[in-house]
Amino acid sequence: MDTCLLRDDGIKSRTVHTQVTLAQLFRKTRSMTISLSSASLPVFVKFLGNLRHLLTKAQADVQARGYDEQALVQYRLAPDMLPFKRQISIACDAGKLWAARVSGLEAPVYENTEETLEALVGRIDKTLAWLQTVPPAALDGLEDKQVTFPSGKNATRTMSGEDYLKNWALPNMFFHITTAYAILRHNGVAIGKTEFLMGAGS
């Protein structure tokens, strides 16, 4: 900004420059408070925990209405979509694999053999337990790390750690949690949006 156009420039020019400097400091401070770990691990843990809550509601519904839980476990929203059980395992893997691939840590491998609601709750619990062992320092500063990962059966993608989080891993988790929610809701399980967002805290 051209301070020579200002009257009493000795005072006003200092004010203008101070405002610009404060704005720059604000942007710098704000960027420093959002790290890769803080933008990822708490979100994965929270929403997988919410998914766990939805499954416990499903278990209670099965008991209350007395039907075969396989009606939920095997249910597909459309013939070409994956069944409920795979929605759960993929939601879990979205966060686990992102954290492992970006950090370089070795994640546990699960064989996708879960066939009951109890086993699916266990899958979530194992994933949450592992995510909670990932140290923030293993992720922070790796925003620009190039990560190549499978995308479909015969393809791969390469993204930076930050882009992989924002444009793939988080949306992927949310997609499969939402699909699982829709399957339960469609089949009469008494859940709502607040439980999707807040889990047991709702």
Q: Where are the domains of the chain?
A: 3-32, 35-201
CA atoms within 13 A on the CB side of 199: 13
Does the structural domain 35-201 have CATH classification 1.20.120.450?
Answer: yes
Whether 171 and 45 have beta carbons less than 8 Å apart is answered as: no
Question: Are the C-beta atoms of residues 109 and 93 closer than 8 Å to each other?
Answer: no
What is the per-residue pLDDT across 134-171, written as a single tens digit (0 to 9) for each? 999 999 999 999 999 998 888 999 999 999 999 999 99
Cβ-contact 185, 194 below 8 angstroms: no
Task: Specify the pTM.
Answer: 0.82
Closest to 202 (Cα-Cα) out of 186, 190, 184, 185: 190
Q: Rounded to an integer, what distance in angstroms lies between the CA atom of residue 142 and that of residue 37?
A: 10
The pLDDT, as a whole number, for residue 56 is 97
Is pLDDT at 103 greater than 90 in this prediction?
Answer: yes
pLDDT tens figures, 73-90: 999 999 999 999 999 999
